[in-house]
């Protein structure tokens, strides 16, 4: 296998570290063509759809892409902002705020980059840019608190596939999950309390997580268990009774059985059972996106109100929440332990001095300039 050409080595360069915040992805614009390109990449991932490739190719290209792209484009258009896709905007802001938060913690030399598993900026492109910039220590930080082979596992696939073509691979640290991280749970709690303080509290809190096929659970995927642990820890911190909240799963696709209970029919039934005011939060999403802003805040809201409910409140994702940014910084920091990321100006000068001495020694032995 041919390896990609390495960037010119510069003797005397001080090594650097980076954190790459990786989210799922989004179309570049809310048009049929852009959505079709995005869905093709997303739904062609064998981690996402575990159907024999030949069978799935005909379903994807003969049914889904021709008929779903236009409908999905309309949904994306309903949530699109002046700055673009909400998911991309929030993830980009989180990366910038994370960089600032790490700097405040003393990690001023750490680069923070945003990447998408599908769409742009693509994860391989971001990793290539970091290499060109001389970065040789990288933390891959998924925007998914709960691990699933369909999400975090797919990120690992992309990372490993990229570095299969690289001769000089940087040191890598991969954040698997943080579904029970104290800072993440506290950020969710603060987010909910802030909403309740402003809007009042509903009769019941629905915690809606993204769904996956039930067979993934039966085959050993820990996602279902991690979602329930997040919910249990959050409920305990909010001092909720078991009857005060319910865990559901949304975004079912296809005819196979997915994790249950499903969000939409559950919410409709709650309205029929007499629940007049409902609060819904999506703890598995760290940035608002199509699945939260359109599916929950629009479609599920309609299901609740049309079945007798009177007041529906969607509690936004963590997005740029200060408690969440602090939690992100703590998670990233924990995975950089042992790396020279906390340097004073004096220490930085000493590192550069050592690098300069190394360059002199290399040149004395005949190394190219």
pLDDT tens, residue by residue, 248-263: 999 998 889 999 999 9
Contact assessment for residue 203 and residue 276, using Cβ atoms and an 8 Å cutoff:
yes
What residue numbers does the annotated binding site cover?
Answer: 210, 291
**61-74 burial code (b ≥16 CB/10 A, e <16):** eeebbeebbeebbe
Which tokens hold the place of 153? Answer: 């596992």
Packing angle between helix 123-132 and helix 152-163, nearest 10 degrees? 50
Provide the pLDDT for residue 352. 53
Q: Give 223-261 as a 3 state SS string.
A: HHHHHHHHHHHHHHHHCCCHHHEEEEEECCCCCCCECCC
Which tokens hold the place of 117? Answer: 């598993």
Is 116 or 255 the better-scoring residue by pLDDT? 116
pLDDT in tens, 72-99: 999 999 999 999 999 999 999 999 999 9
Q: Which helix or strand (DSSP H or E) is residue 57 part of?
A: helix 53-59
What residue numbers does the annotated binding site for Fe(2+) cover?
Answer: 210, 291
* Alpha-carbon 149 to chain mean position: 13
C-alpha span between 166 and 174 (Å, rounded):
18
pTM of the model: 0.93
Provide the pLDDT for residue 303. 98
C-alpha span between 143 and 91 (Å, rounded):
8
pLDDT in tens, 302-321: 999 999 999 999 999 999 99
Q: Which residues contact 352 (CB under 8 A, 6 or more apart)?
A: 14
Confidence of residue 113 (pLDDT cuts 50, 70, 90): very high
State the virtual CA torsion across 223, 211, 173, 184 in degrees, nearest 10: -80
CB atoms within 10 A of CB 345: 8
Which tokens hold the place of 223? Answer: 């996602």
State the virtual CA torsion across 197, 200, 203, 208 in degrees, nearest 10: -60
Provide the pLDDT for residue 369. 62
């Amino acid at each position: 296998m041919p390896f990609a050409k390495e960037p010119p080595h510069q003797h005397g360069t001080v090594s650097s570290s980076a954190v790459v915040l990786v989210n799922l992805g989004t179309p570049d614009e809310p048009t049929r063509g852009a959505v079709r390109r995005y869905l093709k990449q997303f739904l062609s991932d064998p981690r996402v759809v575990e159907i024999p490739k030949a069978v799935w190719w005909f379903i994807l290209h003969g049914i889904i892409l021709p008929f779903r792209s236009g409908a999905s484009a309309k949904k994306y258009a309903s949530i699109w902002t002046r700055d673009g896709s909400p998911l991309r905007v929030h993830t980009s802001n989180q990366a910038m705020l994370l960089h600032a938060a790490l700097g405040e913690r003393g990690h001023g030399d750490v680069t923070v980059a945003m990447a998408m598993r599908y769409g742009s900026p693509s994860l391989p492109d971001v990793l290539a840019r970091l290499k060109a910039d001389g970065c040789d220590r990288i933390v891959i930080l998924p925007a998914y608190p709960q691990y699933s082979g369909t999400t975090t596992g797919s990120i690992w696939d992309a990372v490993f596939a990229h570095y299969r073509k690289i001769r000089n691979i940087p040191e890598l640290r991969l954040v698997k999950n943080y579904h029970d991280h104290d800072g993440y749970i506290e950020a969710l709690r603060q987010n909910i309390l802030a909403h309740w303080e402003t809007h009042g509290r509903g009769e019941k809190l629905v915690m809606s997580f993204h769904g996956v096929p039930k067979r993934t659970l039966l085959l050993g995927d820990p996602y279902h268990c991690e979602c329930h642990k997040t919910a249990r820890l959050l409920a305990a911190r909010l001092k909720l009774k078991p009857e005060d909240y319910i865990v559901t799963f949304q975004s079912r696709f296809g005819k196979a059985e997915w994790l249950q209970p499903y969000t939409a029919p559950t919410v409709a039934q709650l309205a029929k059972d007499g629940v007049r005011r409902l609060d819904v939060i999506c703890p598995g999403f760290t940035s608002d996106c199509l699945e939260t802003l359109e599916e929950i805040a629009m479609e599920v809201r309609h299901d609740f109100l049309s079945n007798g409910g009177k007041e529906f409140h969607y509690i936004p994702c963590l997005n740029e929440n200060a408690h969440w940014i602090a939690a992100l910084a703590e998670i990233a920091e924990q995975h950089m332990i042992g790396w020279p990321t906390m340097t004073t100006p004096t220490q930085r000068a000493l590192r550069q001095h050592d690098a300069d001495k190394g360059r002199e020694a290399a040149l004395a032995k005949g190394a190219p300039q």
